[in-house]
Homo-oligomer: A and B are copies of this chain.
């Protein structure tokens, strides 16, 4: 039942989803792969190939039903799960993520903020109180947290990952610049800002 879909295709799906949501807000009911391609700067052939991976949606010469396609992609990406996030490490980056408005539109909610620093425990960010990392297991159980977001320094990230897994987390989104060891049944995505910046540097050097 579980088809293997390439990482590159998976990475494009949120772009499709977001564009379809905008198109839906414009009250358009049908969109062609040409127009979707124009809006995303992706070839229509690539779009048709990506979407064909998941079955037959479009109607030849007409296009895709915007609402149907949007919901189908949300299902493929698992966005209907309304994943609940806990951010561990409320420094600058953790604070920025706590305030980042765009998660809601994708069906994610930040439900807990955790930190070890007693000076900030109890204070609020974006309406959420920062709780004590020492109580992680309680907080995560009580708030039904699915995803642990790691924004602590690299030196603490592995220990925090282990605490999160011990507390029953189902997936980890890691911002610390370090390779984490996690069990195979815990999906892990690393977000590394230096990768994008280095790619930019590379392309600028070629100019």
Interface of A toward B, CB cutoff 8 Å: 2, 7, 10-11, 13-15, 17-18, 39-41, 76-79, 81, 83, 91-93, 95-100, 102-103, 106, 108, 146-147, 170-173, 177, 179, 185, 187-207
User: Are the C-beta atoms of A171 and B204 separated by less than 8 Å?
Assistant: yes
- A201: contacting residue among B79, B191, B199, CB under 8 A: B79
- List chain B residues, Cβ under 8 A from A196: 173, 189-191
Bound Cα distance A81, B185 (Å): 42
User: Are the C-beta atoms of B96 and A202 separated by less than 8 Å?
Assistant: no
Copies in the complex: 2
- A77: contacting residue among B2, B40, B95, B205, CB under 8 A: B205
Tell me whether A146 and B39 are in contact in the complex, defined as CB-CB below 8 angstroms, given that A177-B18, A199-B11 are known contacts: no
Bound Cα distance A79, B8 (Å): 27
User: What is the CB-to-nearest-CB distance from A100 to chain B, in angstroms, rounded to a whole number?
Assistant: 7
User: Are the C-beta atoms of A202 and B10 separated by less than 8 Å?
Assistant: yes
Bound Cα distance A91, B81 (Å): 29
Tell me whether A198 and B13 are in contact in the complex, defined as CB-CB below 8 angstroms, given that A204-B170, A204-B171 are known contacts: yes
User: Are the C-beta atoms of A102 and B187 separated by less than 8 Å?
Assistant: no
Bound Cα distance A10, B177 (Å): 17
Tell me whether A14 and B200 are in contact in the complex, defined as CB-CB below 8 angstroms, given that A92-B100, A99-B92, A207-B187 are known contacts: no
Bound Cα distance A91, B189 (Å): 25
Bound Cα distance A110, B76 (Å): 39
